[in-house]
């Protein structure tokens, strides 16, 4: 280990030491030494050449979200680095552990506006969990160790390491004897038992308790603990957009998704509940609607590993700073201290569930939206695509679904049946259009035996579809793309229809013939225009040993309902277009 190494070799070895197996990136001048070194390690480190650094970033996110492991993306200095910015911001919002490695101009010209120089550490300061500028090769072993530790522990997030070209080229004897020195970074994993007991008292006193399961359940691997806790207490479980998969939707205690496009009975239950137990969710404004009117009768218990999330948007009665899995384990250990109260809770919980089911029956969300009467005359209502796709997914299993951002994303969250963690991957916090195709690339590499469906709108698809070439170059066969093509930036058009008197400003959108575009990328392309063709197209996609794109040319002006208008209480939901009757 006392052999001399270049900084670039040290970077490769640091990644291998930390279990990294795959990286997504694009080379360029300032990162060339790293690519030069990568060649020696190509048996252990797979490099996937993307077509745009944003694609590399989203692919790293997809890989991380599908596995819980670190995703790595690479860009050169200047534009290579700035192209990563959107993906880094997306990873920050969705707590996704990625490491972005960027090349930087030589340290002797740093700050002199050199060719392809950009202050990427300055640019990414507010959108990374932490970032580094490395000017000396000697610092690389420590910085990589610390960066990966920070990205993957506590509340995960993106970390960027910017390495000057001369630091990559310099020859050193690396010191791998690393002791992390992070006095200001001590994520608290174990819950305070006093607070857990207080929370249990609150739960036992509840007549209308609810659990909200967020992304933290999936990130901490708490799916089994959540299930055990819900079953023991019989409290109904809500799953947020990122909590999808944390609790199986066919479970009798599962009631569905809350928020802006959540189900009526779920939002009404939140407005009625008296104890709201949020585990690993951050009370995003898409969940709460107008925060001051959210869950007005509820005492709130909030488990989050990030103390700054507690009390940020919603007032909390019992705060618990902890890892969701360890917190739930503590809840299971401490329950039940009082048999009588426990029996009473069960009684209340089943009355309450009955009430929620009654509300649900009144609105019949999924069935109602799958068999809508207003879609009877449409040649291809989008809901028919989801009905057929759900059927295919359920009958074949082994699926991962990546969705982009917009109407198709909300329909997917609402209409597909979700059972397992890390099967639903989407851009939630940042709402990044263009996420799905490259993220699906990362997911497909992580899970080569699963069928990875990327569901896109025609808008987001046109932002990053060049990664279809990457998928072919890598020999990936398990990706299928479904474009829900309505010729609009559909979600914005929906808002314009409902709230701006149908001024379709900047939303009508043309595209190429997507099936022919797919063929140009050496994919199979299928066009679907009628409901009658949907099932056969999906069957053909499954039967094809290779990537397939289906262009579903759906009815153009169908809306996502239910919907809570911006800044309204989640109790005030719109169920249908006021313009249609």
Partner 1 sequence: MKKHTIVALVQDRPGVLSRVVGLIRRRGFNIESLAVGHSETPGISRMTIVVEWEDVEQVVKQLYRLIEVLKVSDVTNDPTVEREMALMKLHAPPAKRPEIVALTEVFDAKIVDVGANTMVIEMTGSPSKVQNFIDVIRPYGIREMMRTGRIAMVRGARGHTAEEYVESANGHAERVPAMN
Residue 342 bears catalytic tag: no
CB of 466 to partner 1, least distance (A): 31
CB of 59 to partner 1, least distance (A): 20
Rounded-to-integer distance, Cα 339 and Cα 377, Å: 57
Nearby residues of 118 by Cβ (< 8 Å), 6 or more positions away: 77, 78, 79, 81, 82
CB of 159 to partner 1, least distance (A): 9
Rounded-to-integer distance, Cα 270 and Cα 285, Å: 14
CB of 125 to partner 1, least distance (A): 5
Judged by beta carbon, residue 3 or residue 181, the one nearer partner 1 is: 181
Joined tokens for residue 86: 């959107």
> Between the CA atoms of 253, 258, 262 and 268, what dihedral angle is there, to the nearest 10 degrees?
80
Q: Taking CA 434 as the corner, what is the angle to CA 429 and CA 437, rounded to the nearest 5 degrees? A: 110
Strand 5-6 and strand 171-172: the pairing is antiparallel
Joined tokens for residue 278: 């949020």
Catalytic residue, candidates 32, 116, 477, 572: 116
> Between the CA atoms of 421, 422, 423 and 428, what dihedral angle is there, to the nearest 10 degrees?
110
Joined tokens for residue 429: 């916090």
Residue 466 bears catalytic tag: no
Residue 299 bears catalytic tag: no
Catalytic residue, candidates 11, 23, 491, 563: 491
Rounded-to-integer distance, Cα 250 and Cα 581, Å: 33
Judged by beta carbon, residue 95 or residue 496, the one nearer partner 1 is: 95
**Nearest 5°: phi and psi at 142?**
-65, -50
Judged by beta carbon, residue 221 or residue 347, the one nearer partner 1 is: 221
CB of 312 to partner 1, least distance (A): 6
CB of 182 to partner 1, least distance (A): 5
Residue 165 bears catalytic tag: yes
Indicate the DSSP class of residue 506.
T
Catalytic residue, candidates 11, 144, 165, 409: 165
CB of 187 to partner 1, least distance (A): 5
**C-alpha closest to that of 442 among 455, 431, 454:** 454
Q: Taking CA 260 as the corner, what is the angle to CA 259 and CA 261, rounded to the nearest 5 degrees? A: 95
Catalytic residue, candidates 115, 315, 499, 502: 115
Catalytic residue, candidates 9, 13, 34, 53: 53
Indicate the DSSP class of residue 39.
G
**C-alpha closest to that of 11 among 132, 139, 108, 133:** 139
Q: Taking CA 525 as the corner, what is the angle to CA 520 and CA 531, rounded to the nearest 5 degrees? A: 155
Q: Are 70 and 131 in contact (CB under 8 A)?
A: no
Judged by beta carbon, residue 326 or residue 528, the one nearer partner 1 is: 326
CB of 183 to partner 1, least distance (A): 4
Judged by beta carbon, residue 19 or residue 506, the one nearer partner 1 is: 19
Judged by beta carbon, residue 220 or residue 533, the one nearer partner 1 is: 220
Joined tokens for residue 4: 């001399």
Q: Helices (DSSP H) in 485-530: which residue ranges?
A: 490-499, 514-520
Residue 53 bears catalytic tag: yes
Judged by beta carbon, residue 55 or residue 216, the one nearer partner 1 is: 216
**Residues within the interface to partner 1 (CB under 8 A):** 68, 121-122, 125-126, 129-131, 133, 149-150, 152-154, 179-189, 218-221, 223, 306-308, 310-312, 323, 325-326, 421-422
User: Sign of dihedral through CA atoms 464, 470, 476, 477?
Assistant: positive
Judged by beta carbon, residue 220 or residue 414, the one nearer partner 1 is: 220
Q: Are 139 and 107 in contact (CB under 8 A)?
A: no
Residues with catalytic roles: 53, 115-116, 165, 491
């Amino acid at each position: 280990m006392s052999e001399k190494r270049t900084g670039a070799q040290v970077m490769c070895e640091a990644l291998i030491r930390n279990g990294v197996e795959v990286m997504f990136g694009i080379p360029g001048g300032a990162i060339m030494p790293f690519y030069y070194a990568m060649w020696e390690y190509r048996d252990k480190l797979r490099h996937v050449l993307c077509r745009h650094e944003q694609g590399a970033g989203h692919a790293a996110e997809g890989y991380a979200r599908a596995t819980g492991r670190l995703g790595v993306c690479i860009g050169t200095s200047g534009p290579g680095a700035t192209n990563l910015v959107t993906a880094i911001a997306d990873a920050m919002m969705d707590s996704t552990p990625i490491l972005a490695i960027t090349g930087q101009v030589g340290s002797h010209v740093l700050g002199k506006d050199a060719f392809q120089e950009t202050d990427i550490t300055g640019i990414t300061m507010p959108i990374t969990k932490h970032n580094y500028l490395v000017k000396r090769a000697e610092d690389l072993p420590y910085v990589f160790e610390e960066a990966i530790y920070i990205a993957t522990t506590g509340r995960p997030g993106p970390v960027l390491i910017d390495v000057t070209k001369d630091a990559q080229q310099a020859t050193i004897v690396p010191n791998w004897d690393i002791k992390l020195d992070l006095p200001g970074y001590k994520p608290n994993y174990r819950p305070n038992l006093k607070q857990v007991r207080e929370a249990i008292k609150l739960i036992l006193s509840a007549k209308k308790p609810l659990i909200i399961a967020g992304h933290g359940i999936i990130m901490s691997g708490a799916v089994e603990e959540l299930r055990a806790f819900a079953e023991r207490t019989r409290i109904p479980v809500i799953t947020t957009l990122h909590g999808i998969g944390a609790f199986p939707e066919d479970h009798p205690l599962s009631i569905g998704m809350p928020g802006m496009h959540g189900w009526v009975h779920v939002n009404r239950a939140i407005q009625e509940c008296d104890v709201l137990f949020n585990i690993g969710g951050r009370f995003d404004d898409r969940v709460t609607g107008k925060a001051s009117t959210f869950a007005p009768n509820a005492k709130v218990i909030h488990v989050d590993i990030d103390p700054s999330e507690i009390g940020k948007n919603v007032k909390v009665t019992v705060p618990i700073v902890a890892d969701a899995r360890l917190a739930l384990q503590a809840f299971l250990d401490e329950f039940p201290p009082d048999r009588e109260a426990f029996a009473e809770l069960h009684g209340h919980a089943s009355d309450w569930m009955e009430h929620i089911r009654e509300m649900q029956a009144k609105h019949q969300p999924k069935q109602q939206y799958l068999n809508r009467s207003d879609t009877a005359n449409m040649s291809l209502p989008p809901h028919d695509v989801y009905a057929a796709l759900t059927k295919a997914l359920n009958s074949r299993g082994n699926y991962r679904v990546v969705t982009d951002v917009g109407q198709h994303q909300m329909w997917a969250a609402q209409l597909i049946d979700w059972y397992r963690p890390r099967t639903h991957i989407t851009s939630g916090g940042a709402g990044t259009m263009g996420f799905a195709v490259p993220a699906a690339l990362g997911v497909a590499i992580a899970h080569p035996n699963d069928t990875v469906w990327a569901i896109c709108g025609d808008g987001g698809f046109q932002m990053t579809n060049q990664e279809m070439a990457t998928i072919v170059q890598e020999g990936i066969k398990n990706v299928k793309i479904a474009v829900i093509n309505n010729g609009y930036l559909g979600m914005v058009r929906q808002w314009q229809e409902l709230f701006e008197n149908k001024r379709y400003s900047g939303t009508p959108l043309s595209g190429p013939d997507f099936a022919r575009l797919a063929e140009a990328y050496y994919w199979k392309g299928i066009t679907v225009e009628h409901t009658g063709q949907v099932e056969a197209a999906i069957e053909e996609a499954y039967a094809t040993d290779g990537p397939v794109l289906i262009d579903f040319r759906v009815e153009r002006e169908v809306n996502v309902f239910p919907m809570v208008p911006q800044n309204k209480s989640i109790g005030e939901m719109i169920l249908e277009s006021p313009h249609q009757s």
